[in-house]
Chain A
Amino acid sequence: MLVKLVTSRLRATRPRRLAWLALAASLGLLAGGCESFDSPQNTFSTSGDVAEDQRYLFFFVMWPALVVMVLVGAAMLYILFRFRRRSEQEPAPKQVHGNTKLELAWTIAPAFLLIAIAVPTLDGIIDLGRAPHDDALRVNVIGQQWLWSFEYPELVDASGQPLRIDGRPGETTELHIPIDREIGVTMESNDVIHSFWVPKLAGKEDVVPGHINEMWFNATEPGTFAGQCVEFCGLDHAIMTLRVVAETPEEFDAWVDEQLAAAAAEAPVTGTR
């Protein structure tokens, strides 16, 4: 009986009403999503030029896509309402087989719209895919199961050893960088494929054994930015985390001096692989 009640109600409900409900609910959810703006890895809350460009491109594509989705959805609902069968006796409809002009139009028009996306896409690929500038601060990112290590090849101590921050299992390795300066990252893996990702600063790049991948990024404001490995790398992939600490150039220099001094104090133990 209950089933009959439920299903008869369902049949009686116009699909359109339910669909509006669903749409409203989804928009409410989206709004709720935007509230969590401050979450540590939010790609919309950017603090770096690369992430900012990527966010901009995402919205450049997303809004038209959303419009298309709404139009198609609305068309669908309109069609379902207007052309619903009102009675079994109604005559069968005109057997239209197609309309070549219309079909050509809706083949060609989207092609143009899509080409419009291609332009900023290609622009972004070239700009974001370029090699780091010569005056960038170079950082070597070393990925291994399941920790990150960082090396600054240009920042050497008294004995010529570059500054190195070794990761420890289960801990989040910190990468210190100065703000408003380009960072040139070189990525290498000691074992399997990993991927280096600090969402608020830049999109990711894979860390592939046998390859050296490069990317550039920067931080435009001081802060702490969470990141983690984002290519499945085995058992503890989920906890292979890192943290970028972006500081003013003065603070950064002070930090570097401190680290190099500490390393010199431990001189006999090199710790580097």
Chain B
Amino acid sequence: MAGATLGRRPLTLMEALRQTRAEAATYRGIWSWVATVDHKRIGVMYGITAFIFFLAGGIEALVIRLQLATPNGAVVDPDQYNRIFTMHGTTMVFLVVMPLSAAFFNLLIPLMIGARDVAFPRLNAFSYWVFLAGGLFMNISFFTGGNIFQGELGAPDAGWFGYAPLTLNEFSPGNGINYWAFGLQILGVASMASGFNFIVTILNMRAPGMTLFRMPLFVWMTLVTSFLIVFAMPVIAIALFQLLFDRLFGGNFFNAEAGGTPLLWQHMFWLFGHPEVYILILPAMGIVSEVLPTFSRKPLFGYPFVVFSGVAIGFMSWGVWAHHMYTTGLGSVANAAFGVSTILIAVPTGVKIFNWLGTMWGGSIRLNTPMLFAVGFIAMFTIGGLTGVTHSAVPSDYQQQDTYYVVAHFHQVLVGGAIFGLFAGAYYWFPKFTGKLLKEGWGQLHFWLMFIGFNVTFQPMMILGLMGMPRRVSSYPDGYGFGLWNMMATVGAFMIAASILVFIYNVIVSLRSKEQAGADPWDGRTLEWSIPSPPPAYNFAEIPTVHALDDFWHQKYVEDAAERPVPVVAGGAHEAEAAEHEAGDHGSIHMPSPSYWPLIAALGFPLIAFGFIYDYALIAVGAAFLLVGLYGWALEPATE
């Protein structure tokens, strides 16, 4: 720290505050991260934070697996178990997969569309800080149950889906559910801000010539996902408000005695929940759609069909929610309607899988680590999707619902699908943002350990479900035949854990390496590969003009008579375009200035939440932070 002490005596508090403020105003060092509005830095922060939550959720998973490895497990007691599995699910959905997807949106969307940043850089920073606040807020709950060292946990314990009336005060006294509900509200704000930002960015900030059907598929999937976010999150926001009104102010939304119905919660939750699972998977599908063409050296097969199937999935996802409720007694008509709609949603998903296979067919395939994960995604997602089809046969689902068969199904698509896809993206784009390639040998070890471990963990769960093991049980008795499969699942879980350690090691070792990856280590097809690695703050020295889908590929190659790519001779047509644009430029690139206001505003939310839980005075403090932050943001001088 510059100028750490005046002379030799330590600083007074006032001097230290003044000094910190002066340093912060320079926006250097850590302050450049705290005040950043640069999408690349925000993407990195999202990625690291989400990965840390992934480790937390993973440890929660390992505790679950240790508890269930043998009959009558006694690693944790039922109360602790219920809190841990609740936090495992909540963490993985809201603090891991969604923000990891957000990390990729942040890092890539502006680069893929030829923009310098997102439409609202400060809103972008706001999204990240609110996410961090929400995640920390949610996890603080662990400590609020008493003496944590004596195993007294305060975390919510009604499952990630929080069915009423179990979540009402009568059955869940204490603050656990309050932390859960407020935490999700805070996270919802972050997601929505992000959703709005990316829709406007994608619709409004594409480089000249980039029509919607010249956008990379990942950008399309981001667009669909963002629309799903901004329409689905309000529904769960209302459901959570209703729950909070019931808990805090004696409301009757889910109070059966007063005429309310607990099923209202389920309808609202799943109206959000089903689009939510497509929010979780579409970005990973987008990543796979980028990785496969690069490592097959062929374009994505049937790009328009893949786009339409993604959009179709987005629309259809609103019509299937009650397939989570077949056994609640909705009646035959409802069950029939949702059965049919669920059966049909398999169609656009199948289309994607066949188009991916078509991409690889006739290609020149290299099985580097990103490609391994992408191929693993296809295999695992196919299985997961097919188990989903077995669920859509409604009467058969009456046996499967709430058993480990469902657990197997959604882990198949969320781990074998989303997580694999996200790792494919991590290995693929790591060189772009760090300038270093991840080591291939360690990457292969990571993949195989994870792939085998994943299957050893979750395939037995299909058997367990069909053999009658329910979900969400803190233990199971002897003599039911569950022991062998559970032990296998536990072994597999530790294999997955080991593979993650391999990944962490790979990241550390690769970052330390001196080898530079260069701008385009994979011979990629999209615009991000046309700029240096890591990219400069302004992304593109000149905003490119786009002439085709996979524009960068067409800058490098021309197709010969046999439709095979041939490298372009230097000095091709595009250079003339570049000169044209040079003339229209202002000569210096204006980038949005850093700002502290998003962080200050973001702090308001957890304070307001704490206020409702503990002391209403805090609400005023939180509101003050929010208002001051928002006014500061609104009135900040324009960037010059």
Contacts and interface: CB of A to CB of B under 8 A. Distances in A.
Contacts of B329: 205-206, 208, 211, 213-214
Contacts of B158: 232, 234
Nearest to B366: A85
A11 B301 CA distance: 28
Contact of B389 (A65, A90, A102, A203): A65
A235 B82 contact: yes
Nearest to A88: B366
Given A40-B479, A231-B402, A110 B350 contact: yes
A210 B360 contact: no
B231 to A, nearest CB: 26
A22 interface: yes
Interface string A239-262: 000000000000000000000000
B389 A117 contact: yes
A213 B325 CA distance: 13
B110 interface: no
Contacts of A68: 382, 386
A80 B347 CA distance: 25
A128 B480 CA distance: 27
Interface string B391-409: 0111111111111000000
B263 A197 contact: no
A168 to B, nearest CB: 17
B230 interface: no
A209 to B, nearest CB: 4
Given A92-B297, A107-B347, A210-B262, A238 B389 contact: no
B209 to A, nearest CB: 19
A50 to B, nearest CB: 8
A96 B444 contact: no
B299 A95 contact: yes
A76 B381 CA distance: 13
B166 A232 contact: yes
B261 A210 contact: yes
B468 A41 contact: yes
Given A83-B362, A92-B565, A121-B394, A36 B159 contact: no
B343 interface: yes
Contact of A83 (B78, B165, B360): B360
Contact of A33 (B170, B259, B445, B463): B463
Interface in B340-372: 340, 343-344, 346-348, 350-351, 353-355, 357-358, 360-367
Interface in A33-59: 33, 36, 38-44, 51, 53-55, 57-58
A51 B336 CA distance: 19
Contacts of A18: 448
B386 A69 contact: yes
A124 B172 CA distance: 37
A36 B367 CA distance: 39
Interface residues of A, number: 105
Contacts of B402: 195, 197, 204, 230-232
Interface in B187-214: none
Contacts of A203: 327, 395-399, 401
Nearest to A145: B171
Nearest to A210: B256
Nearest to B550: A95
Contact of B563 (A95, A126, A228): A95
A70 to B, nearest CB: 10
A203 to B, nearest CB: 3
A51 B400 CA distance: 11
A98 interface: yes
Nearest to B549: A97
B395 to A, nearest CB: 3
Contacts of A199: 399, 468
B467 A95 contact: no
B226 interface: no
Contacts of B375: 76, 80
A193 B163 contact: yes
Contacts of B16: none
A121 B355 contact: no
B262 A208 contact: yes
A103 B365 contact: no
Given A7-B445, A238-B476, A58 B78 contact: no
B351 A106 contact: yes
Contacts of A65: 386-387, 389-390
A94 B362 contact: yes
A136 interface: no
A86 to B, nearest CB: 8
Interface stretch (B96-104, B302-310, B605-613, B631-639): B302-310
Please tell me the size bucket of the interface on B.
Answer: 35 or more
B481 interface: yes
A83 B360 CA distance: 8
Contacts of B441: 3-4, 7-8, 11
A99 interface: yes
Contact of A75 (B339, B357, B399, B445): B357
A61 B475 contact: no
Contact of A40 (B172, B297, B468, B485): B468
Contacts of A157: none
Nearest to A114: B343
A209 B387 CA distance: 31
B471 interface: yes
B469 interface: yes
A79 B365 contact: yes
Contact of A39 (B327, B395, B468): B468
B11 interface: no
A61 B396 contact: yes
B33 interface: no
B262 A42 contact: no
Given A42-B468, A114-B347, A118-B340, A99 B302 contact: yes
Contacts of A124: 393-396
A129 interface: yes
A61 B305 contact: no
Contacts of B390: 58, 61-62, 65
B394 A7 contact: no
B339 to A, nearest CB: 5
Nearest to B168: A192
B364 A93 contact: yes
Interface stretch (B17-25, B279-287, B424-432, B452-460): B452-460
Contacts of B389: 61, 65, 114, 117
B474 interface: yes
Contacts of A110: 346-347, 350
Contacts of A232: 158-159, 163, 166, 402, 471-472
Contacts of A92: 297, 364, 557, 564-565
Contacts of B466: 33, 42-44, 58
B559 interface: yes
A49 B47 CA distance: 52
A163 B631 CA distance: 69
A244 B559 CA distance: 71
Contacts of B304: 98
A69 B383 contact: yes
Contact of B335 (A125, A210, A214): A125
A57 B395 contact: yes
A24 to B, nearest CB: 13
A195 B346 CA distance: 28
Contacts of B172: 234
Contacts of A195: 327, 402
Given A39-B480, A202-B398, A238-B470, 8 more contacts: A57-B396, A92-B565, A114-B346, A126-B336, A210-B261, A232-B166, A236-B78, A237-B474
10 contacts: A7-B441, A8-B441, A54-B395, A54-B396, A58-B466, A65-B389, A99-B358, A117-B393, A120-B393, A204-B327
6 residue pairs, one from A and one from B, having the closest CB atoms: A41-B468, A203-B398, A210-B256, A39-B481, A124-B395, A7-B441
